[in-house]
Structure formats: structure tokens, C-alpha cells
Amino acid sequence: MSKDRMFGVCVGVLLVGSLALNLVQAYRLGVPALRSSPRKPTGIGSGQMVRPLKVQDQFGTESVIRYDDVSYATVLYITSPSCGWCRRNEQDIKSLAQQVGSRYRFVGVSLSNRNLADYINNHGAGFPVYSVLSETAVSEYQLGITPQMILVDRSGKVVRTWTGAFVDQNRAEIERFFSVKLPEAPKEGS
């Protein structure tokens, strides 16, 4: 291979790598064009059965979220302390829990326990927030994208899931499903 050709290949590889890193960083920082576009539903699907979820609180105390121990369905709000869109959803998820909390149990589930205590203290959800204990649970529930809501009935069957921020179509579907009106949507850049 000639020096010119090798140089061209190296430059190409560096450009592709740089572009990939920039896209990842832009996504993590919440660049609107990357975050607010409609997403296809991902994660666990409606009708699937799930086992009780092993979690721990901010103090390290382990417990199990069971679905048959309450008289109504459970809304699992999947979040993470480093999730910018989760913070943008704060007002909406708190409002939703307040409006329908007598018909549904709300439980926050963080995919990370890093800075979880600070996150809870500074952004309290108005409902308990735990971190997931095992990769098995992450795999079974097909967790990975935040924010996400999973509605589980008393038998452990997934009724419905919503993936992504409470914007656009997702917001309208949540309002329609729960028969609520969420607070005014935050403006881009807020």
C-alpha cells in the first residue's frame, strides 16, 4: 500500500471515529435533533410477564418490588442520575404521580446507583426511587434507555411501555392513556 493511500485510510478512520464520538456526545448532552425525534418502542413489550424486581435504596438496603402486594398496577419509572431528559421530565412525572397516584403505585428505578442519593435529595420524585441490583433484571426487563415507563399489572404482566422523553407523540399518548393533562412542556434549551 502506498504512503498516500495509507494516509488517506488513516484520515478516513479518524474522521469516522471523530464523527461517532461527536454524535454520542451530542446525544448525551441532549441535542434536540437527536433527542426529540420519535423513537420506535424498545425494551420489554406489552403482554410479557416479569418477575419481581430486586432493587436497593440509596442507603444500600435491598428489597424486592412485587406486583401482587398492592391493590393496583405499578408504574416503573426508569431513570438515571446522569439522564438529562429524565431531569426535563421531572415536573411531568411528579404531576402524573400526583394526579393518578390513587390508581397506580409509582416506583422509580435507576439504572445507576452512582450519585443516586444526591439525585434523590435534589430531584425527589415524590415516590420511592431504587437502583437495579442485577444484570439479570436489566436483561429481563430489557432496560437501557432512560427515561422509560413500564406499567405492570398485579399479575406481573406488562400492560404498556413508554420510551423516551415526555414530548410530542409520547406526551400525548401518556396524557390520553392516564386521562391527565401534564404541565406545559419545557421549551427546547430549557
pLDDT tens digits, 115-144: 888 888 887 778 999 998 788 888 889 998
pLDDT digit string (tens) for 57-97?
Answer: 888 899 999 999 989 999 999 999 888 898 889 999 999 99
Same domain for 24 and 107, yes or no, is no
Strand partners, 158: 152
Same domain for 62 and 123, yes or no, is yes
Same domain for 160 and 76, yes or no, is yes
SS3 180: coil
pLDDT for position 116: 82
pLDDT at residue 185 greater than cutoff 80: no
How many alpha carbons fall within 13 Å on the CB side of residue 72?
10
| Angle at CA of residue 185, ends 114 and 166, nearest 5° | 50
Strand partners, 62: 56
Higher pLDDT, 150 or 43: 150
Q: Is residue 190 part of a domain?
A: no
Same domain for 61 and 153, yes or no, is yes
Residue 136: which domain range? 42-178
Q: Is residue 184 part of a domain?
A: no
Domain count, the chain: 2
Same domain for 25 and 112, yes or no, is no
Same domain for 160 and 83, yes or no, is yes
Spatial contact of 135 and 143, defined as CB atoms under 8 Å apart: no
